[in-house]
Structures are given as C-alpha cells and as structure tokens.
Structure 1
C-alpha cells in the first residue's frame, strides 16, 4: 500500500465523467476514479470545509464512529476489477469494512484519515503527471478546490470553473 493525496474531484471535458483524483507523490502518478455527482459533491464540500445545516450521509457515518468511540484508521483502495475500484475502511478496532471507493474517500476527507492505494492499482490505473501542462492542470484544480462552494453543486450548470481552460 502506498499513501496517496486526495486532489479532489474534476469533470472530464471529453466525456463529461466526474472523477476523484488520487496522487501518488512518490511515483508521480495520478489515479482517476470515476464517481457520481453526489459523491463528487460530498468530497468537494468536505475538502472546502463547507458545513451543511443537517448532516449528510458521510457526516453521519463520521459522527456515528465518534459516538461509539471508534476511529477510521485509514482507507485502502485494495483492488481494481473490470474498471471498478474496491476499497476498505480500516477501523481502529482492526475491523475492515468493504466500501465503494468514493464513499471511503468522502469519509476519509471528513475524518482526516490517510488514504492508501494498492501499488498494483496505482500501476494499473495511474497516469503520469510529468509535463508542464498537466502540472498546471493540477494547480488549477487545487485553486478550484480552494474556492468551491456548496452552491456550485446545487445549480444545474455545476461548478462554474470546473473544466475552465483559463489559468486561475
């Protein structure tokens, strides 16, 4: 298992898919995982520190773990099979729970828990981030994450600067 940074969510321009990007800094590989709009919203809102008036599902899971005195030790992306990423929640009790990768990442962001990824998954799905254009894209994305709001995900158009080709 290798530690990865959750860069955030992004809508791909070519096919309109939404992905969460995990970045293996040691290998300089980005692992894109296709996710749904709700999961994208949950991850982006947590990364932006947006609080909702009522708890969302991932907030409820975080609060439930806290109420029973259990921590989320880490999230592990353990396998990739047929284009589907498999994850496990590893609790402080040693219990491992099967999870969708998007839900696991949304919970990890809320609990500030590390995300690890199988080296085999990084090797199979990782995309090199080496040229200047790609690095600029990562920086644009980080800028977007710093400025995203909950309202960006409640309008039909979605986030205003997702997929924008102009520099921040």
Structure 2
C-alpha cells in the first residue's frame, strides 16, 4: 500500500556531487534519505524557498507540457528499490485514464514540488530503507 510522504529536508553539499533529500511519512515518523544530483537538488530547493526564475526550468517545462496536452499530474509514486536504486513513476490523469510514466525519483520529486502534488512511496521501500 502506498504511503504518503513529504519532503522534510534538502542537503546541498558544495564539496560533493551527492546531495540528499529526506522524505518523512505524513501520518507517521518514518523517514529516509535519497541521494540526488545538483540540478534536481537546486530545483527543489528553489521551489521550496519560492525563489522565482526568469525562464521555466526543466521541471516547469514538463509540468507545462503535461497541462498543454490535457493531462494533470495526480501524484508521484516511488515504486521500487532495486540494487540501491530507487525507481519512480509520474502518475498523470488524461481523458479519464491514469497513465504511469517512468521517472528518476529526483525528477519526480522536483516535479511534485513544482506542481504541489502528493508524493507516495511503496510500503516495502520504506521498510527496507529504514532497516538498512
């Protein structure tokens, strides 16, 4: 069963190419980190801090494209953890159908923050990530 999560922390490390975001369950205490790239980290950080950009960033572009094509981002779903790599899906409503599009979790979370939609994570991922 998917668990709704929220972004609670972003760590941008200027001395490394590994940046970390933390997700925490909305109705609980479990939390876990995901290592992401600098572009996604800064994009998420700007959105959280409501810092405007002169032109749309890639995640804004994707949100605009989904909207222009008649879709609506319903939520994002981190669905799998395989060989220490998370896998995610964008869940888009279009003409009464729910379409799932593969995504890196960092891009999916950046888009969720940009559009303000829920972030869900599979229960087994939270269990595995918090028990490592």
Pairwise TM-score range, normalised by the shorter structure: 0.7 to 0.9
Kept in 1: contact 2:12–2:38 (CA 8 A): no
Report the structure, 1 or 2, having the larger strand content.
2
Deviation at 1:25, TM superposition (A): 3.7
SS of the residue 1:50 aligns to: coil
1:35-67 alpha-carbon deviations (Å, 9 max, x no partner): 011110011111111111011100100111121
SS of the residue 2:55 aligns to: coil
C-alpha distance in structure 2 between counterparts of 1:55 and 1:16, whole Å = 24
Matching residue of 1:64: 65
Kept in 2: contact 1:8–1:43 (CA 8 A): no
Kept in 2: contact 1:8–1:47 (CA 8 A): no
Matching residue of 1:133: none
Number of matched residues?
Answer: 126
Gaps of 5+ in 2: none
26 and 126 in structure 1: CA distance in 2 versus 1, 3 angstrom threshold? farther
Matching residue of 1:118: 122
1:17-37 alpha-carbon deviations (Å, 9 max, x no partner): 311111014341111000011
Of the two, which has the highest radius of gyration? 1
TM-score scaled to structure 2, two decimals? 0.88
Gaps of 5+ in 1: 128-168
Matching residue of 2:50: 49
Matching residue of 1:36: 37
2:9 pairs with 1:8 = yes
Deviation at 1:16, TM superposition (A): 7.5
TM-score scaled to structure 1, two decimals? 0.70
113 and 25 in structure 1: CA distance in 2 versus 1, 3 angstrom threshold? closer
1:113-164 alpha-carbon deviations (Å, 9 max, x no partner): 100000000001137xxxxxxxxxxxxxxxxxxxxxxxxxxxxxxxxxxxxx
Report the structure, 1 or 2, having the larger helix content.
1
C-alpha distance in structure 2 between counterparts of 1:82 and 1:101, whole Å = 15
